[in-house]
Amino acid sequence: MKKDTNTMNLEVKSNLAKLLATENITIQHNNVKTASFDVKNRVLTLPIFKQKSGDVYDMLIAHECAHALYTPYEQWEGINDKELRSYVNVLEDTRIDHLIQKKYPGVIKNYQNGFDILEKQNFFGISGKDINKELMIIDKINLRSKSMNRLPFSFAPLDDKWLAKVDALKTFDDVLTLAKEMLEWQKDQVEQMKKLPDFDNHVISKTYELSDDDDFDDEESDNGQGDNSDVEQNDDDADEKNDFNNFGDQEADDEKDSQQSGDSKKGEEKKEESKGEPDSYAKGAGGDPKPKLLKAITDDSFTQRSEELLDDTNKGYRYGKIPQPNLKDGALISFKTWLKDMAEYRISQRKYNDISKYDVYLDKEYKKFMNENKKTVMYLVKEFEMKKAATAYKRASQDKTGIIDPLKLPQYKYSDDIFKKLTIVPDGKNHGMMMLLDWSGSMSDVLFNTVKQLINLVEFCRKVNIPYEVYFFTSERSYDRENKKDFSQNTGEFVFDDFSLVNCLSHRMNKKQADLALKMMFHMGMYFDNRYTSRRNMWEDTTTYDAQCNNWGISNKYYLGNTPLNESLIYLNKLIPMYKKKYGIEKLTFITLTDGAGNYPRGNIVGEGDKDWEKTEVFDIDGTKFTSKRNITTELLNHIKKSYGANVIGFYIVKRVRRWDLEKYITNYTDYSDKIAKYNVLRKQMTKDKAVAVDHEGYHKYFILDGKKLDIENFSMNNVEVKKGTTSELKRVFGKSMANLLVSRVVLNKFIQEVA
Q: Is the Cβ–Cβ distance between 129 and 135 less than 8 Å?
A: yes
Give the pLDDT mean for 285-295. Answer: 62
Residues 260 and 129 both lie in one domain: yes
276 to 121, 209, 272, 286, 385: CA distances (angstroms): 40, 20, 9, 18, 101
More confident residue, 707 or 633: 633
Residues 340 and 250 both lie in one domain: no
Is residue 423 one of the residues assigned to a domain?
no
C-alpha to C-alpha distance for 437 and 440, rounded to whole angstroms: 9
Residues 546 and 603 both lie in one domain: yes
Give the pLDDT mean for 454-479. Answer: 89
Helix axes 356-394, 542-549, angle to 10 degrees: 90
Residues 299 and 438 both lie in one domain: no
The parent domain of residue 267 ranges over 5-273+290-314
Edge-to-edge strand list for the sheet holding 36-38: 26-30, 43-47, 36-38
Start-to-end Cα distance in the chain: 28
Predicted confidence band at 180 (pLDDT cuts at 50, 70, 90)? very high
**What rounded mean pLDDT belongs to the chain?**
76
More confident residue, 388 or 230: 388
The pLDDT, as a whole number, for residue 532 is 53
Residues 231 and 356 both lie in one domain: no
**Is residue 704's pLDDT more than 80?**
yes
Q: Is the Cβ–Cβ distance between 630 and 474 less than 8 Å?
A: no
Q: Which of 175-184, 371-380, 465-474, 681-690 has the lowest mean pLDDT?
A: 371-380
Grouping H, G, I as helix, E, B as strand and the rest as coil, residue 418 is: coil
Residues 253 and 366 both lie in one domain: no
C-alpha to C-alpha distance for 694 and 665, rounded to whole angstroms: 6
CA 363, 366, 368, 370 torsion-angle sign = negative
> Domain with 361 in it: what CATH number?
3.40.50.410
525 to 341, 368, 558, 559, 721: CA distances (angstroms): 17, 16, 12, 11, 33
Residues 6+ apart with CB under 8 A from 647: 587, 588, 589, 590, 700, 754
- Look up the pTM and report it: 0.68
C-alpha to C-alpha distance for 460 and 378, rounded to whole angstroms: 8
Residues 359 and 264 both lie in one domain: no
302 to 221, 223, 235: CA distances (angstroms): 16, 11, 18
Is residue 408 one of the residues assigned to a domain?
no
C-alpha to C-alpha distance for 265 and 259, rounded to whole angstroms: 10
Q: Which of 328-342, 405-419, 538-552 has the lowest mean pLDDT?
A: 405-419
Predicted confidence band at 724 (pLDDT cuts at 50, 70, 90)? low
**Is residue 279's pLDDT more than 60?**
no
The pLDDT, as a whole number, for residue 46 is 75
Q: What is the dihedral of CA 47, 49, 53, 59, to 10 degrees?
A: -50
C-alpha to C-alpha distance for 208 and 228, rounded to whole angstroms: 13
Candidates 123, 96, 42, 67; CA nearest to 310 is 123
The pLDDT, as a whole number, for residue 297 is 92
Q: Is the Cβ–Cβ distance between 506 and 335 less than 8 Å?
A: yes
Is residue 283 one of the residues assigned to a domain?
no
Predicted confidence band at 199 (pLDDT cuts at 50, 70, 90)? confident
Burial of 433 (0-12, 13-18, 19+ CB in 10 A): buried
Residues 373 and 255 both lie in one domain: no
Give the pLDDT mean for 471-477. Answer: 92
Predicted confidence band at 474 (pLDDT cuts at 50, 70, 90)? very high
Task: Tell which of 314, 346, 369 closes a domain.
Answer: 314
**Is residue 480's pLDDT more than 50?**
yes
Residues 304 and 338 both lie in one domain: no
Is residue 420 one of the residues assigned to a domain?
no
Q: Is the Cβ–Cβ distance between 446 and 654 less than 8 Å?
A: no
Pairing of strands 431-438, 587-594: parallel
Within 10 A of 378 (CB to CB), how many other CB atoms are there? 13
Candidates 600, 595, 591, 695; CA nearest to 648 is 591
C-alpha to C-alpha distance for 516 and 370, rounded to whole angstroms: 13
Task: Give φ, ψ of 755 to 5 degrees.
Answer: -75, -45
The pLDDT, as a whole number, for residue 549 is 67
C-alpha to C-alpha distance for 532 and 153, rounded to whole angstroms: 84
Grouping H, G, I as helix, E, B as strand and the rest as coil, residue 113 is: helix
Is residue 564 one of the residues assigned to a domain?
yes
Task: Tell which of 247, 282, 314 closes a domain.
Answer: 314
**Is residue 253's pLDDT more than 70?**
no
Is residue 466 one of the residues assigned to a domain?
yes
Predicted confidence band at 402 (pLDDT cuts at 50, 70, 90)? low
Residues 369 and 260 both lie in one domain: no
Number of domains, the chain: 2
Instruction: Give strand pairing partners of 588.
Output: 432
SS3 per residue for 367-398: HHHHHHHHHHHHHHHHHHHHHHHHHHHHCCEE
- Which of 32-46, 231-245, 376-390, 582-596 is modeled with the greatest confidence? 582-596
Is residue 410 one of the residues assigned to a domain?
no
Residues 469 and 353 both lie in one domain: yes
Q: Is the Cβ–Cβ distance between 419 and 407 less than 8 Å?
A: no
Residues 6+ apart with CB under 8 A from 215: 226, 227, 271, 280
Q: Is the Cβ–Cβ distance between 142 and 246 less than 8 Å?
A: yes
**Distance from chain centroid for Cα 698:** 11
**Distance from chain centroid for Cα 311:** 22
Residues 114 and 225 both lie in one domain: yes
Is residue 733 one of the residues assigned to a domain?
yes
The pLDDT tens digits of the residues spanning 310-367 come to 887 878 888 889 999 999 888 999 999 999 999 999 888 888 777 888 888 899 999 9
The pLDDT, as a whole number, for residue 569 is 95
What is the percentage of the chain residues whose pLDDT exceeds 70?
A: 70
Give the pLDDT mean for 503-531. Answer: 91
C-alpha to C-alpha distance for 498 and 473, rounded to whole angstroms: 11
The pLDDT tens digits of the residues spanning 50-91 come to 765 578 878 887 887 888 778 887 888 889 998 999 999 999
DSSP string for 695-725: --TT-SEEEEEEGGG-SPP---GGG----TT
Q: Which of 52-66, 194-208, 687-701, 719-733 has the lowest mean pLDDT?
A: 719-733
The pLDDT tens digits of the residues spanning 639-670 come to 999 999 999 998 888 887 888 888 888 888 88
Could you list the beta-strand ranges (E) of 533-646.
587-594, 616-621, 624-627
Predicted confidence band at 179 (pLDDT cuts at 50, 70, 90)? very high
